[in-house]
Amino acid sequence: MTALCTAPNANLSGSASHGQDDFRMMFNQDRYLVERVQQYHARHSFASALETGTHKAETTVGLARMFPKVYTVEVDINYFLASKAALAGRGNVVARLGNSPEVISEILPELEHPLFAFLDAHWYDYWPLKDELMLLLSVRKPKLIMIHDFRVPGRNFGFDGYQGRPCDLDFIGDVLPHGECKYVFNDRTAAGSANRGVLFIEHQL
């Protein structure tokens, strides 16, 4: 595994001096989702954040401005290398190259709670989503898990599919400790965004 840890920068800790434009590229440019996450953070003061699927680090940069510590994982070497420029100088970000469940297993003891986890690594032949969830939910401490590209009942939002199955509650339901969780869907998307569905899982919050 490869780690990318850069020098500290006190201006990227999520202070109120940053405007909404600092977060405009997050979550496929969905300002509404940014506001939802900020509201959760205001209530629960998340100590760290985890992202799976760094891609071009557009969401990672925003997470670094919201949360004191961010871990991001990317399996594609080209995206991992391309994200270096965007993450340069962000001392509160640890970027890792590798399969997300394997990396999560390694860093699980380092993740501070309450934890915010953004799961967006579901593109290739192997979907790590259920394995990611099992690892994160095995720690019975307060966390908010946000799954992107999720099927929202009754809404015309975009979602992903895996081997002919939609990314929905039926797909992940067998790994969820339902008695410990509360489920919340996004009820709208921002104009100009990619119009994607999201599931928030509140675990032990």
Per-residue confidence (pLDDT) for residue 151, from 0 to 100? 98
Of 140, 159, 139, the closest CA to residue 149 belongs to: 159
Domain borders along the chain are 2-203
Q: 86 is written with which tokens?
A: 């965007």
Contact 118, 51 (CB under 8 A): yes
Q: Are strands 48-52 and 115-119 parallel, antiparallel or unpaired?
A: parallel
Q: Where are the beta strands (DSSP E) in 33-187?
A: 48-52, 70-74, 93-97, 115-119, 143-148, 161-162, 165-166, 181-185
Give me the residues of the chain with pLDDT under 50, please.
1-19
Output the pLDDT for position 124: 76
Q: How far is Cα 185 from Cα 153, in angstroms, rounded to an integer?
A: 9
Helix (H) or strand (E) holding 199: strand 198-203
Give the class (CATH, top level) of 2-203: alpha beta
Q: Coil, helix or strand for 115?
A: strand
**pLDDT attached to residue 125:** 82
Q: For 136-149, write each residue's pLDDT tens digit.
A: 999 999 999 999 99
| Sequence-distant contacts of 184-190: CB under 8 A, at least 24 apart | 185/150, 185/152, 185/153, 185/155, 186/32, 186/33, 186/36, 186/152, 186/157, 187/155, 188/32, 189/30, 189/32, 189/33, 189/157, 190/29, 190/30, 190/31, 190/32, 190/33
